[in-house]
Structure 1
Amino acid sequence: MEIKFKVRLSQFVCLLGSVLLLLEAARQISIGLTLTALLLAVGGTMLLVVSLAHELFTLRWFRTLVMLSVALIMSALVLLAPQQHLMWLWGFAVLLLYPRPRWLAPACALIGLVTTWLALAQLGSDWLSLGIGITATLMALGAIGGRRQQQVWMQLERRGRRDSNRAIWSQYQLMRDLPREIARADREDIHIELILLAPVKTGRLANRRLMNTLDSAALPHETRYQLDDGALAVLLVTRGERMASLRRRQLIEHLAMPIRARVQPLNDSDPSALDLKRLSAHLSDEPQPITLLPPLPRKPADADASSDDALSDHGRDTLKPASAADKVAVVPSRGNDH
Structure 2
Amino acid sequence: MQSKYKIRLLRANLLAAAVALALWTPATPPAAALVLWLSVGWLFITALMLDFSHRRSRGLPWQMVPGVLLLSLIAAAPERHGILIWAWAALMMLPQSSWVAAFNLSAALISSVMIAPLLDGSEFILLICALLILGLLALSSAQQLIDMNGSIRHRLRLIPGLNLWAAEQLVRDISREQTRCEREGVHAEVFILHVKRHQLWPTAQKLCELTYDFENVYRLDSTTLATLMLSRSPKEAAQRRNQLLADLPDNIHSEHLELINIDPATLSVFEMSKLPTEQVQETI
What TM bracket, shorter-length normalisation? 0.7 to 0.9
Alignment of 1:296-335 (within 5 A): none
Hey, what does 1:42 align to over in structure 2?
38
Hey, what does 1:261 align to over in structure 2?
255
**Aligned residue among 110, 114, 123 for 1:114:** 110
Q: 1:196·1:262 contact (CA, 8 Å) conserved in 2?
A: yes
- Deviation at residue 70 of structure 1 after TM alignment: 1.5
Hey, what does 1:298 align to over in structure 2?
none
User: How many equivalent residue pairs?
Assistant: 274
Hey, what does 2:121 align to over in structure 1?
125
Structure 2 residue 61 is the aligned partner of structure 1 residue 64: yes
Hey, what does 1:243 align to over in structure 2?
236
Change in 2 beyond 3 A, CA 1:25/1:279: closer
Q: 2:2·2:8 contact (CA, 8 Å) conserved in 1?
A: no
1:195 counterpart SS class? strand
Hey, what does 1:232 align to over in structure 2?
225
Q: 1:192·1:265 contact (CA, 8 Å) conserved in 2?
A: yes
2:210 counterpart SS class? coil
- Deviation at residue 169 of structure 1 after TM alignment: 4.0
Matched residue type, 2:142: G
Structure 2 residue 207 is the aligned partner of structure 1 residue 219: no
Change in 2 beyond 3 A, CA 1:20/1:281: closer
Q: 1:71·1:108 contact (CA, 8 Å) conserved in 2?
A: yes
- Deviation at residue 277 of structure 1 after TM alignment: 2.0
CA deviations over 1:68-112 (Å, ceiling 9, x no partner) = 222233234445566764443232233233333332222211110
CA deviations over 1:206-237 (Å, ceiling 9, x no partner) = x5558756754661425332212632212212
1:9 counterpart SS class? coil
Q: 1:198·1:231 contact (CA, 8 Å) conserved in 2?
A: yes
2:134 counterpart SS class? helix
CA deviations over 1:104-141 (Å, ceiling 9, x no partner) = 22221111012112213332110011101111121122
What CA distance in whole angstroms lies between the structure 2 residues aligned with 1:170 and 1:187? 26
Greater shift after overlay, 226-235 or 258-267?
258-267
Hey, what does 1:19 align to over in structure 2?
15
Matched residue type, 1:219: L
What CA distance in whole angstroms lies between the structure 2 residues aligned with 1:173 and 1:45? 43
TM-score (norm: length of structure 2): 0.73
Matched residue type, 1:112: A
Structure 2 residue 77 is the aligned partner of structure 1 residue 89: no
CA deviations over 1:127-172 (Å, ceiling 9, x no partner) = 01110111112112223333333333433332346579x9754313
Matched residue type, 1:118: M
Q: 2:94·2:142 contact (CA, 8 Å) conserved in 1?
A: yes
Hey, what does 2:71 align to over in structure 1?
75
Alignment of 1:186-197 (within 5 A): 190-197=186-193
Q: 2:220·2:226 contact (CA, 8 Å) conserved in 1?
A: yes
**Aligned residue among 96, 100, 111 for 1:100:** 96
Q: 2:88·2:104 contact (CA, 8 Å) conserved in 1?
A: yes
Greater shift after overlay, 113-122 or 172-181?
172-181
CA deviations over 1:185-205 (Å, ceiling 9, x no partner) = 667664432112337xxxx4x
Higher normalized contact order (CA 8 Å, seq sep 6+, divided by chain length)? 2
Hey, what does 2:148 align to over in structure 1?
152
Greater shift after overlay, 189-198 or 170-179?
170-179
Matched residue type, 1:106: A
CA deviations over 1:275-312 (Å, ceiling 9, x no partner) = 222233342279x989xxxxxxxxxxxxxxxxxxxxxx
TM-score (norm: length of structure 1): 0.63
2:95 counterpart SS class? coil
- Deviation at residue 248 of structure 1 after TM alignment: 2.5
Matched residue type, 1:19: L
1:130 counterpart SS class? helix
Hey, what does 1:281 align to over in structure 2?
274
Change in 2 beyond 3 A, CA 1:182/1:54: farther
Alpha carbon RMSD of aligned pairs, Å?
Answer: 4.1
Q: 1:14·1:47 contact (CA, 8 Å) conserved in 2?
A: no
Structure 2 residue runs of 5 or longer lacking an equivalent are none
Identity value in percent: 22
Structure 2 residue 130 is the aligned partner of structure 1 residue 134: yes
Q: 1:50·1:56 contact (CA, 8 Å) conserved in 2?
A: no
Q: 2:78·2:114 contact (CA, 8 Å) conserved in 1?
A: no
Structure 1 residue runs of 5 or longer lacking an equivalent are 291-338
1:68 counterpart SS class? helix
